[in-house]
Chain A
Amino acid sequence: MAAPSVISPGAVDGVDGMHGAAARPRARSARGGRPGRTARLLRLPFYLLAVTMIIPFYWMVITVFKPFQEITRQPPSFVPANPRLTSFYDPAWTPAQPDPAHTSGLLQRFPQVSLGFWRFMINSLVITTSITVLALLVCSLAGYVIAKHRIPGRRVIFIVIIASMMVPWQTTLIPNYVIMRNLGWLSTYQGYIVPAIAKAFVVFFLVQYLHSIPNELIHAARVDGAGEWRIWWRIVLPLLRPALAAMSIFIVLAEWNNFLWPLIIVQSDGMANIPVALARMNSYYVGAQSQGAIMAGALLASLPTIVFFLIFQRHFTRGIVLSGLKG
């Protein structure tokens, strides 16, 4: 599925803006000289398109800050007339006396779950962190062996790993569900974590990366009497740091947003991750008066990854170009 060799590593710098000089002449008209008016004109629809990119996010944010009567106002307001945080928590709402003027905020939903919505944030955090750490450890071990140890069968193993990247994972959904049920792992953290550790793509990527690391470093350590585990921990892992950073971004993103697998294995309310909890709100609360709370949940779900992206933006684009993978 992935073909990182398609794009030369030099291309990455272009994304990060280091080859900017290469880009500028293209924007000029064929005759050279001033930046072409045609080029600017051709770009105009794309600026309009950028506005449509922002609108859904904007609509989410303003819905969150409207009190719920304003959410159903016609025509809708595009700047909240009196911004409130009632989508998160409405102090005037009580479960005992339903009051048509109030609706429960996001943090007041899921009364059957201790900590309410925060519980799902914690679940997502625990699951994402565990999978990322374990996957990087396990896959870097395998990658090191495949790339640097001349053991019989390593070619076959590597080919199987590459071939498995062409498999849509949904094909394994049903047997894995049966395995989880037989192990008693439905609605558990291990049900989320254990099947997600062995990531073929990560091994493939790390092996490719390790090929660029000279064997001499490892040989020298071996001559000095270091054991293989020590070499892995002290030499290979530090050398792999950029590759591990790129991979961890993808794993974090994929696991934070993972939906279909959690949807299937989570049967108790308290073990849902954020996407599953949001999907449950979506099916329990039909009707516009809950949209404030639902949008608040969407905001809490997307804010961490967006902030993460804005901070590590360079690593994101570099990782994508190197690996050609969406989380």
Chain B
Amino acid sequence: MATVSMGRMRRTRSWLRRNAVSYVMLLPFAGLFAGFLIWPLANSLYLSFTDFDGVSPPKLTGLENFRRLFAEDDRFRHALSNTGTYVAATVVLGTLLSLGLALAFRGSSWSHRVMRTIFFLPSVTSTIAIMLIWKWIFDPNDFGLANTVIRWFGHSTAIEWLATPGLSVPILVLMAVWGGMGYGMVIFVAGLNSIPEEYYEAARIDGASTWQQFRRITLPLLRPVTTYVVVTSLIAAFQIFEAVYIVFRTNANTIGGVLDSGLMIVPYLYDIGFTHFQLGYASAIAWVLFVIIFVISLVNLRIGRAFKEL
């Protein structure tokens, strides 16, 4: 008996000695990861079922927050539908333009590289800086750049771009597509250049036209890359915040523009959580966002796996 437990002890001790250092090395990451990601995630799920206001201890209210969100809250419904329109337009336009740019400037010549650099520039520039520039471009005065441009085309009265509800989402889409095209382009260029040239040569010998080559070789082989670009831009688009916060800000305490015409999910979450301090209710919004993005990611995984099996 004694020898058995001695052996077990020795085994445990040597196991410890072997693995202890590994766990110690893992610890800084694991601790921070658990403390600032896993626990907050669980905590925000809990808070979404409470009336937490940041001061008094949270009281459980069951599904009340979610009921209110979907049954009563017109601002939230507005934010959801705005986000939906914005995401659809941004992703479709952005992906098409990225692909077009990649096809146009995929080469290694000097001019193509300069063009890629130009289109990629917004991706490395501070979003806040870019949004401040856009706000200044859409200045309502006569001397605003946008108003100057429409004057060249014969429209003599200045437009209050940012105070016209019908223009809010289109302006947000314009800014997002302008800023995001270059990023998609870089990924598409890499995808295009990984397609073996022999395929095109064979197709040309068989007499395939440029369009047929594009339709029958490029598009199918590019599909995983396209999926990837679409999914990452979907996820990024759902999280829009800075554009709304900066461009549609008129004074210190408003968000979302005139009549909430530019209100989106994350700005609304910010407004409820950090302007109105309804932290429980804001957590419910956060979890709606979580579900949307998690589902998109899962669909992506599923599609990716399906492609690998093909």
Residue numbers of A with Cβ under 8 A of B are: 1, 3, 6-8, 10-27, 29-30, 32, 36, 38, 42-43, 46-47, 49-50, 52-57, 59-60, 63, 71-76, 138-139, 141-142, 144-146, 149, 151-152, 157, 160-161, 164-179, 194-195, 197-198, 200, 203, 227-229, 232, 253, 256-257, 259-260, 263-264, 274-275, 278-279, 282-284, 286, 288, 291, 294-295, 297-299, 301-302, 305-306, 308-310, 313, 316-317, 320-321, 324, 326-327
Contact = CB atoms under 8 A, between A and B. Distances in A.
Interface stretch (B72-80, B83-91, B233-241): B233-241
A275 B113 CA distance: 30
Contact of A278 (B132, B183, B191): B132
B100 interface: yes
Interface residues on chain B, size class:
35 or more
B286 interface: yes
15 contacts: A3-B224, A43-B104, A46-B115, A59-B145, A74-B143, A149-B19, A149-B22, A151-B23, A164-B33, A166-B293, A171-B41, A228-B25, A257-B127, A260-B242, A301-B129
A257 B129 CA distance: 9
A25 B199 CA distance: 12
A179 B143 CA distance: 47
B242 A59 contact: no
A167 B290 contact: yes
Contact of A174 (B112, B129, B133, B273): B273
B191 A7 contact: yes
Contacts, number: 345
A57 B133 CA distance: 8
A50 B115 contact: yes
Contacts of A169: 37
B167 interface: no
Nearest to A63: B136
Given A53-B119, A175-B39, A309-B124, A141 B29 contact: yes
B298 A7 contact: no
Interface in B147-192: 148, 151, 178, 182-183, 186-187, 189-192
Nearest to B123: A326
A198 B148 CA distance: 48
B254 to A, nearest CB: 9
B246 A15 contact: no
Interface in B186-227: 186-187, 189-194, 197, 200-201, 204, 208-210, 213, 224-225
Nearest to B119: A53
B297 interface: yes
Given A30-B210, A157-B26, A179-B36, A172 B44 contact: yes
Quick one: which of A10, A52, A149, A302 has the most chain B CB within 10 A?
A302
Contacts of A286: 250-251
A172 B36 contact: yes
Interface of B is mostly: helix
Interface of B: 19, 21-23, 25-26, 28-30, 32-33, 35-41, 43-44, 47, 54, 97, 100-101, 103-109, 112-113, 115-130, 132-137, 139, 141-143, 145, 148, 151, 178, 182-183, 186-187, 189-194, 197, 200-201, 204, 208-210, 213, 224-225, 228, 231-232, 235-236, 238-239, 241-242, 245-246, 249-252, 266, 269-270, 273-274, 279, 282-283, 286-287, 289-290, 293-294, 297-298, 300, 304
Contact of A198 (B37, B118, B135, B141): B37
Contacts of A55: 145
Contacts of A178: 43, 54, 279
Contacts of B136: 59-60, 63, 291, 294-295
A194 B32 contact: yes
Contact of A232 (B25, B210, B289): B25
Contacts of B133: 56-57, 59-60, 295, 298
A56 B137 contact: yes
A279 B225 contact: no
A156 B118 CA distance: 43
A279 B126 CA distance: 12
Nearest to B152: A75
Quick one: which of A57, A200, A227 has the most chain B CB within 10 A?
A57
A75 B36 contact: no
Contacts of A10: 194
B143 A306 contact: no
B107 A24 contact: yes
A203 B37 CA distance: 14
A173 B204 CA distance: 55
Nearest to A16: B108
Contact of B33 (A73, A200, A282, A301): A200
Contact of B232 (A8, A47, A294, A324): A324
B287 to A, nearest CB: 7
B108 A302 contact: no
A60 B131 CA distance: 11
Contact of B141 (A72, A194, A195, A203): A72
Contact of B190 (A7, A71, A74, A297): A7
A259 B242 contact: yes
B200 A25 contact: yes
A66 to B, nearest CB: 11
Nearest to B279: A174
Contacts of B270: 260, 263-264
Contacts of A179: 35-36, 40
Contacts of A274: 126, 128
Nearest to A22: B197
A130 B104 CA distance: 40
Given A286-B250, A295-B132, A324-B232, A75 B26 contact: no
Contacts of A13: 193
Contact of B251 (A138, A141, A229, A283): A283
Nearest to B208: A30
